[in-house]
Amino acid sequence: MWAGLAITVVVLIAAAGYLTTVAPKGTTTLTSSISSSTTSTGSLETTVSSTTTSSSSNAGVVDVSIVEGAIGNQSSSGYAPSTIEVVIGVNNTVIWTNNDGTVHTVTCIYPPAGAQGFNSGPLSPRATFTYTFTVSGTYVYNCQFHSWMSATIIVKS
């Protein structure tokens, strides 16, 4: 039934500050969970649930949002997701979209050894910035205008 179908298994942790593994667009995403419990009669009860979604555009692209209200919430990173992991040759292109009502930047402040940083320049509301990662390592970036806005990208080869 599933022969020839490329399936990417993705585990998403939807909490701020936790690592999010992002499946590239153009793939099928299968999320599953299995739980077991013992009933009052002593028998084992197992529950299996799964969700399958599919996307067909922008294969290999990961979207990051500069969130609405970022300028007014200094306890938030301002970027969603705030930490992502991408793989060179799979989903190593990232597109940031400024969904806030003010100008922001996407500026790499700590590139890994051997990599160059990146800088979007000022991004007006609804503007986008695209960058393709070619060197593995951890990249920390922020907004030059609002230094509390900071996020991380982990690039694997």
23: nearest Cα among 60, 58, 50? 60
Amino acid at 81: P
Report the CATH number at residue 129. 2.60.40.420
Within-domain flag for 69: yes
Query: pLDDT tens digits for 85-133?
Result: 999 999 999 999 999 999 999 999 999 999 999 999 999 999 999 999 9
Query: pLDDT tens digits for 35-58?
Result: 445 556 665 554 444 333 334 356
pLDDT for residue 111: 98
For residue 143, count other CB atoms closer than 10 A to its CB.
Answer: 27
Within-domain flag for 1: no
Q: State how far the Cα of 110 lies from the Cα of 51, in Å rounded to an integer.
A: 37
pLDDT for residue 60: 86
Within-domain flag for 96: yes
pTM: 0.65
Using a 10 angstrom Cβ sphere, with 0-12 exposed, 13-18 middle and 19 or more buried, the burial of residue 98 is: buried
Domain range for 147 is 61-156
Within-domain flag for 88: yes
Asked whether residue 149 falls in the same domain as residue 85, the answer is: yes
